[in-house]
Copies of this chain bind each other. A is one copy, B any other.
Amino acid sequence: MQDKLTLMIPGPTPVPETVLKALGRHPIGHRSAEFQSIVERTTKQLQWLHQTTNDVLTITGSGTAAMEAGIINTLSRGDKVICGDNGKFGERWVKVAKAYGLEVQVLKAKWGQPLNTNDFRQLLETDTNKEIKAVILTHSETSTGVINDLETISKHVLNHGHAITIADCVTSIGACNIPMNDWGIDVIASGSQKGYMMPPGLSFIAMSKRAWKFNEISNLPKFYLDLKPYKKTSDKNSNPYTPAVNLYFALEAALTMMQTEGLQSIFARHARHREAVHAGMKAIGLQIFSEEGYGSPAITAISPQNIDAEQLRKEVKEKFDILLAGGQDHLKGKVFRIGHLGFVNDRDVLTAVAAIEATLGDLGINNVKTGAGVAATAEILQKR
């Protein structure tokens, strides 16, 4: 039905009316005092979200722009780095690092498995010459619904004493606890169409003091993504180039809503929704793709048996106007993914499970009585 779509993908995620209304305002001058005050407020709000006193800079661009900025602003040609790779976005880190001539050691895990923190510990402990400059990894691997143990890995990096941690928190920030200061993470990249409850187009890069120290000697060529001018203008509540002014309006509205809800409530909601989706899918007889205990609070990948995941996804879209995400690359047709990230309430989660089991029932390939998924989901959701 026209205009009735519900997004249950890992981005773009649903956007509140309050945020859309802010987005649709007439633009103002990006060098005006009014806009400067928006930059000032959103910068503080972003620091709140990152639980940090570090700089958090806003770049007009996709999340990939922030990921690349994290690498090219801290490292130099030939630098040795470790990249964690257990999915499509881990792979992307490797590609970015190689595009700039870094010496990349890849620590892989099978898609669906978390990165092995001991592999990182071992490499870092045996690096007695302190050649490793950075450990680069994805926190919530969107392609597989796996959450990696960023806290433990960043501890190993801190013990190493010389390397920095660069983390893609694109689908984890605003979904689960990432205390940047407490965990000692140096670089965090994220994008607006995720936990931020707003449309795509802005990306964010948080830089620790150590990351800025690395920046001083970084020699990789850059211009638009050179963070020095962003830092310099951010200190005056401004931007080096014309930013996406209307997306800033939306950013302020969204972060204000998030502050009203509170960080702990936001994290609890995402954890409850992960649990509710997992329970519902298992009750329907479907298998969770991510290893037990490593499900992302932002997204769940499910590997259905006896049916092409793309067909199921198509039917759910056509029958119920719910957009689920498909599998990426070799997982296409093998998994579908339910996004429960950002502006998602209990109704959305219950509805998605209900629609999936109703569709499976209609296709005649459901082994359990329709309703079992909803019952299991509802039980979890009651535990507020």
Chain A interface (Cβ < 8 Å from any Cβ of B) = 3, 5, 7, 9, 11-12, 14-15, 20-21, 23-32, 60-65, 68, 95-96, 99-101, 191, 193, 199-201, 220-226, 240-247, 323, 325-326
Q: How far is the CA of A240 from the CA of B62 in the complex (A)?
A: 10
Selected A-B contacts with CB under 8 Å, 8 pairs: A3-B26, A12-B28, A27-B199, A30-B200, A61-B65, A68-B223, A99-B221, A199-B246
- Specify which chain B residues have a CB less than 8 angstroms from the CB of A32 in the assembled complex: 323
A201-B23 CB under 8 A given contacts A242-B193, A323-B29: no
Of the candidates B5, B28, B64, B323, which one forms a contact with A5 in the assembled complex, judged by CB atoms under 8 Å apart?
B28
Q: Could you tell me the distance between the alpha carbons of A201 and B7 in the complex, rounded to whole angstroms?
A: 23
Query: What number of copies of this chain does the assembly contain?
Result: 2
- Identity of the chain B residue whose Cβ is nearest the Cβ of A201 in the assembled complex: B244
When the two chains form their complex, are residues A24 and B20 in contact, meaning their CB atoms are under 8 A apart?
Answer: yes
CA distance A223 to B97 in the complex (A): 9
Instruction: Note all chain B residues with C-beta closer than 8 A to A11.
Output: 242
A243 to B65, CA, bound (A): 11
The answer to whether A26 and B30 touch across the interface, beta carbons within 8 angstroms, is no
If A21-B24, A24-B21 touch, whether A242 touches B29 (CB-CB below 8 Å) is no
B61, A23: Cβ atoms closer than 8 Å: no
Q: Which residue of B lies closest to A241 (CB)?
A: B62
Distance of A103 Cα from B180 Cα, bound (Å) = 42
What's the Cα separation between A323 and B34 when bound, in Å?
A: 12
Closest B residue to A3 by beta carbon equals B26
CA distance A96 to B223 in the complex (A): 6
Contacts of A246 in B (CB 8 A): 23, 199-201
Give the Cβ gap from A204 to chain B, nearest Cβ, in Å: 14
Cα separation A199 to B246 with both chains bound (whole Å): 7
Distance, CA A193 to CA B220, complexed state (A): 30
Kindly state the separation between the CA atoms of A371 and B106 in the bound complex, as whole angstroms.
72
A26 touches B14 (CB 8 A): yes
Interface hub of A23, A61, A64, A247 (most chain B Cβ within 10 A):
A61
How close is A145's CB to chain B, nearest CB, in angstroms? 17
Q: Are A99 and B15 in contact (CB-based, < 8 A)?
A: no
User: Do B23 and A23 touch (CB < 8 A)?
Assistant: yes
In the bound complex, residues from chain B placing their C-beta under 8 Å from that of A95 are 223
Interface centre among A9, A62, A191, A246 (most CB of B within 10 A): A246
List, in ascending order, chain B residues with CB within 8 A of A242's CB.
11-12, 62-63, 191, 193, 200
**Residues in chain B near residue A24, CB distance under 8 A:** 20-21, 23-24
| CB-CB nearest in chain B for A65 | B224
Q: With A60-B200, A224-B62, A224-B68 as given contacts, are A12 and B245 in contact (CB-CB < 8 Å)?
A: yes
Closest B-chain residue to A247, C-beta based? Answer: B201
In the assembled complex, which residues on chain B have CB atoms less than 8 Å from the CB atom of A220? 221
A60 near B61 (CB under 8 angstroms)? yes
Other than the known A5-B28, A68-B224, what 5 A-B pairs have Cβ atoms closer than 8 Å? A60-B201, A100-B223, A191-B242, A244-B244, A244-B247
Residues of B within 8 A of A221 (CB): 99-101, 220-221
Contact between chains at A12 and B30 (CB < 8 Å): yes
Select from chain B the residue with minimum beta-carbon distance to A66. Answer: B224
- A39 vs chain B, min Cβ distance (A): 14
The distance from the CB of A23 to the nearest CB of chain B, in whole angstroms, is 5
Instruction: Tell whether, in the assembled complex, residue B26 and residue A223 are in contact, meaning their CB atoms are under 8 Å apart.
Output: no
**A18: shortest Cβ distance to chain B, in Å?**
11
